[in-house]
Amino acid sequence: MREGDVPVAGSNGIIGYHDVATPISPCITIGRSGNVGTPYIYDKCWAHNTVLYVDDYKGNNPLYLYYLLKTIPLAAFGGGSAVPTLNRNHIHPIEIKHCSTLATQQHIAAILGALDDKIELNRRINANLEEQAIALFKEWFLKNCDVNCRKGHLADVVQIWDALRKPLSGQERDKMQKIYPYYGAAALMDYVDDYLFDGIYLLVGEDGTVIDDRGFPVLQYVWGKFWVNNHAHVLTGTNGFSTESLYILLGLTKVKAIVTGAVQPKINQANLKNIPIDIPPVELLKEYEAIIRPIFAKIRSNREENRRLATLRDALLPKLMRGEIMVV
């Protein structure tokens, strides 16, 4: 990204940056292919051809309209049999009921916007905290690995808990109360009424989405009570490595060479355990752990707060839009 460039908004969010003279500002986009019907809002952006964008707010508050759009199942109004699509002809006929008073729109936008602003602030703080832990790991263990480290394999520093995993079908999950997170290869997929794990763990994609476009593994740093299906390896650190140190190590390790499967990419357990690594002395790892332990405690705290804030926002959103909660 160069100074002065503006983001290019695609159907799944920012897909790049472009130096354009007249970006759309403010910019509400709606996915027209790919992530169909999902709205985003930006201070300014350049709209990619995979999105629709609002170019006339007709005197309404843009942030209010963005939240209003989030209450409408836009994808249900789209078309396309093989590839879902959405265009303005699908959207324009949709009947809506909304607040016509600009002052009330601004109050509603301020309430919901404040929650999203706090969520974004916590996200940025966490990104910065993680960068600090990564920078320190690089300085201590990568730049001086010939002096401080010995050669080994990932199997030397991990415990693998894959035997405890259990997949659940969508039909099974639909019958369950939504209490505990249910994780897949790359993301949180659902919530279920029981759990398999309780603690701090690292999930590594086993099949499906297993690496990013740079060849690094898809990782999920998770904690608390949760369930994992059979598409993600479940790891904790050992022999001086905490789960957090393991997360940093694997986040800096390219694994494209161990991915198998022509149709369905896969990282099998044997190949995962055989990844060559440099292993730092235990005493040096203990010093590193003492520094990053409070960093990751803060990361977990911020993410927990974001979950609570998102739950509150999602509960308030339809009530505010329907006028069930009065704002002054």
Q: Which of 54, 55, 43, 42 is nearest to 13 (CA)?
A: 42
Give pLDDT, residue 205: 96
Name every residue whose Cβ is closer than 8 Å to that of residue 163 and which is 6 or more positions away in sequence: none
CB-count exposure of residue 108 (10 Å: 0-12, 13-18, 19+) = buried
Structure confidence at residue 142 (pLDDT):
81
171 near 216, Cβ under 8 Å?
Answer: no
Contact 83, 64 (CB under 8 A): no
Q: Could you give the CA distance from residue 278 to residue 249 in angstroms, rounded to a whole number?
A: 10
* Residue 21: predicted pLDDT: 67
DSSP secondary structure code for residue 178 in this structure: S
According to the model, what pLDDT value does residue 291 have? 97
Residue 40 makes CB contacts below 8 A (sequence gap 6+) with: 9, 13, 28, 29
pLDDT of residue 1: 42
> In this predicted structure, what is the pLDDT of residue 326?
77
- Long-range contacts of 221-226, Cβ-Cβ distance < 8 Å, separation of 24 or more: 221/247, 221/296, 221/299, 222/181, 222/183, 223/199, 223/300, 224/181, 224/198, 224/199, 225/180, 225/195, 225/197, 225/198, 226/180, 226/181, 226/182, 226/183, 226/195, 226/196, 226/197, 226/198
Give the model's pLDDT for residue 118: 98
Q: Which two tokens stand for residue 150?
A: 């010995």
pLDDT by 10s per residue, the chain, length 328: 444 588 888 888 888 888 766 788 889 999 998 789 999 999 888 888 889 988 889 899 999 999 999 999 998 888 877 778 898 889 888 888 887 789 999 999 999 999 999 999 999 999 999 999 999 999 988 876 666 788 999 999 999 999 999 999 999 999 999 999 999 999 999 999 999 999 999 999 999 989 998 999 999 999 999 999 999 999 999 999 999 999 999 999 999 999 998 789 999 999 999 999 999 998 999 999 999 999 999 999 999 999 999 999 999 999 999 888 877 6
Q: What's the DSSP call for residue 142?
A: I
The pTM of the whole model exceeds 0.85: yes
User: Which pLDDT belongs to residue 4?
Assistant: 58
How far is Cα 114 from Cα 309, in angstroms, rounded to an integer?
Answer: 10
Please state, in angstroms and rounded to a whole number, the distance separating the CA atoms of residues 29 and 303. 26
Do you know the residue count of the chain? Answer: 328
